Amino acid sequence: MSSAASPLVRCAGCGATNRVPAERLRDDPHCGRCGAELLPGHPVALGDADFERVVAASPVPVVVDFWAPWCGPCRQMAPQFAQAAAQLKGRALFVKVNSDDNPRTASRYAIRSIPTLVKLRGGQEVDRVSGAMPAAQVAAWATR
């Protein structure tokens, strides 16, 4: 079986690399080491220590919400972001990065305002948008 047919998915929980057949990515795959969902229907908190490891080889698009706890629009958008994650379970990985606590990752993506959403494919930025959005708009943006 080729790696194209079975992409590698890094577990956000324990860091283990899991081979998941492409046709099974939407079937709620779990980590073979710790049992955590590999493509959960909720945002995953990542930081400077684990961001690259998890998103670099993701077989699905990664939608990153750069936010901070003191930011009113960030807090307002959080449930909308979670709702979009649930809608796109298995089709995209939704990640939250607290830009105050993770300055290296925020700096790498030149985050100047929050909330900012960054879409990654193959670990590379393909699009970004700033400002709070409703769940339907987040999901539409994430899948285009």
Residues classed as catalytic: 71, 74
The 3-state secondary structure of the chain reads: CCCCCCCEEECCCCCCEEECCHHHCCCCCECCCCCCECCCCCCEECCCCCHHHHHCCCCCCEEEEEECCCCHHHHHHHHHHHHHHHHCCCCCEEEEEECCCCHHHHHHCCCCCCCEEEEEECCEEEEEEECCCCHHHHHHHHHC
